[in-house]
Structure 1
Amino acid sequence: MAKKIAVTNQKGGVGKTTTCINISAELARLGKKVLAIDLDHQANLTKVLSGGESKFNLTVADLFSNHKVKIEDAIHQAKSDGDYIDNLYYIPSHITLSRQIEQCLTRVHRERILQRHLKKLEGDYDIILLDCPPSLSLSVTNAMLIADLFLMPIDGGRFALDGLSDLLDAIEEVKETNDVNFAVFRNEYASQNKLMNDFLTEQLQVINGKVLKSKVRRSEAIGQASVTAQPLKYYSKSALANRDYKELAKEILERI
């Protein structure tokens, strides 16, 4: 059965989508068959893993709007610069997702919509990554219900940890357990920012054991790769942050 990882944080701009893109590419490189699901109506993950495509017959919005849709028909193989990426697949999102989510709010078992679709894929993938928007929308609660690990990037800002406790409370409520498997890691890490690094290290002591050793350094190449609709390793093999994603992927595998 595929291990499911929800990349989530209520704070926007901390690098959830870039993390999901580059970790999925790295896990695929390690030989894992990976499916990335874009649960954000902005569809940024879709733009990168599709190699810049924007038109799809079926998207994740259709999965929420119609239980009869075959999830297999919404899956595409990821591409970079026109070439397919081995072992990496994705389900695209669309701007209409937010509207479809609103229409689902009165449905029975609405928090299990994604779970029911994914049951049809049992045995097909090793890892499923869920790219969550910075909210507690129905798409996120669907991800919360099925996730085996919650991966939470935090950036180097003063308010990096804001909302973390509320998010954990929400996850515990949805999963009906106090034993949530989550991991936090430093994203956009700048080693020279000693004051902020010391502050965050102190703040993170309250979740000792849940903080990953891996850190993803701040790099202009990461943003440039997204603009060109490529995972970092395909945009620039020499970028130092590639090492960070390799270490992060290995540490994630240990957690699941």
Structure 2
Amino acid sequence: MKKPFIISFANSKGGVGKTTSCIAVGCCLAKLGYETLVIDLDHQGNLSDDFGRGDEDYTITDIFEDPKFDINKIVYSARDGDKEISNLSIIPADITLAVEARSAERFRHRLSILDDGLKRLVTHFDFILIDLRPAIDLSIENALLITDLIVIPVDMDRRAVKGIDDLFQVVKEIRRNDDFVYTLVKTKVNKSHSKMQKSTNKHIQEAGYQVASTEIRVSELYKQATEQRRPSPLYAPHERPYEDYLSLTHELLAKIKEAPR
């Protein structure tokens, strides 16, 4: 059976559209017929809430509390309101994750807890998407070690650009090499803020970062979807949130075909 391709969404700065991007790409992959699993590794659980799974008895915490825990018990169908989303499943998180991730340091094979758990999945997935919180703990290290592609949302703010360099340093330390596949994605793009975006674009260009051609335009619909606790592409299927992220998803699929495994 072919190993699922793992994509992590990360940036050392918060508020850049990381969770929104993970949710949207997950929905688009599912819409295209790919069996997709999204994993919430942020103890705030925003991704879990938006997929209707913010109040479950078992969560990702259970794996870090007991590495032998049956991971299949924490795989739920993702929801849009009361409706299940075809081809899309979720492993949710809750506030206890932060504490248990620290406690898991006591385990001998602590850096492979997530990898070992995913190998025990009964359902086969084409893609596994992981939403990483903007901090480093054992759960994040576990994810970065098994990630095939890192997607880095950047909200066209100079502080988000600084977060890229910080993230790269962390990835290199965790993986113990400089060889990893990534792509930057410009989010919250607003053509009316030309001065700020020109400055940020200049820094990105000078740094030589690999950047996706697709840009995610700013839209009030993202905020509305979050307030309604709904995935943005499904909340506004004929508007910018779906158009932009579907384009990004196709671009990522093309990049994945070229990525070494």
TM-score clears 0.5: yes
Range of TM-score over shorter length = over 0.9
User: Which stretch shifts more, 3-12 or 240-249?
Assistant: 240-249
SS in 2 for 1:38: strand
- Equivalent-residue separation in structure 1 for 2:140 and 2:131 (angstroms): 9
SS in 2 for 1:213: coil
Tell me which residue corresponds to 1:213: 213
- The alpha-carbon distance between structure 1 residues 91 and 123, as it changes in their structure 2 partners (threshold 3 A), is closer
* Aligned partner letter, 2:20: T
* Aligned partner letter, 2:9: V
Does structure 1 residue 48 correspond to structure 2 residue 50? Answer: yes
Tell me which residue corresponds to 2:11: 9
Name which of 29, 32, 37 aligns with 2:31: 29
- Equivalent-residue separation in structure 1 for 2:92 and 2:123 (angstroms): 21
Shift of 1:144: 0.5
Superposed CA offset, 1:145-172 (max 9, x none): 0000000001122322113122112212
Q: Does the 8 Å CA contact 2:157/2:197 hold for their aligned counterparts?
A: no
User: Which stretch shifts more, 170-179 or 80-89?
Assistant: 170-179
SS in 1 for 2:188: strand
Shift of 1:122: 7.7
Q: Does the 8 Å CA contact 1:2/1:122 hold for their aligned counterparts?
A: no
Residue pairs, 1:135-154, within 5 angstroms: 135-154=135-154
Structure 2: which 5+ runs fail to align?
257-261
Q: Does the 8 Å CA contact 2:102/2:137 hold for their aligned counterparts?
A: no
Residue pairs, 1:235-254, within 5 angstroms: 235-254=235-254
- Equivalent-residue separation in structure 1 for 2:56 and 2:202 (angstroms): 46
What TM-score does the superposition give when structure 1 sets the normalisation length?
Answer: 0.95
- Equivalent-residue separation in structure 1 for 2:184 and 2:252 (angstroms): 11
- Equivalent-residue separation in structure 1 for 2:81 and 2:55 (angstroms): 17
* Aligned partner letter, 1:166: D
What TM-score does the superposition give when structure 2 sets the normalisation length?
Answer: 0.93
* Aligned partner letter, 2:228: T
Structure 1: which 5+ runs fail to align?
none
Runs of 4 or more above 6 Å deviation: none
The number of aligned residues is 254
- Equivalent-residue separation in structure 1 for 2:147 and 2:54 (angstroms): 27
Q: Once superposed, what is the RMSD of the aligned Cα atoms?
A: 1.4
* Aligned partner letter, 2:191: S
Shift of 1:216: 0.6
Q: Does the 8 Å CA contact 1:187/1:217 hold for their aligned counterparts?
A: yes
- Equivalent-residue separation in structure 2 for 1:30 and 1:161 (angstroms): 31
Identity %: 33
- Equivalent-residue separation in structure 2 for 1:80 and 1:195 (angstroms): 38
Does structure 1 residue 187 correspond to structure 2 residue 190? Answer: no
Superposed CA offset, 1:7-54 (max 9, x none): 00110111111111111001110111100000000000000112xx43
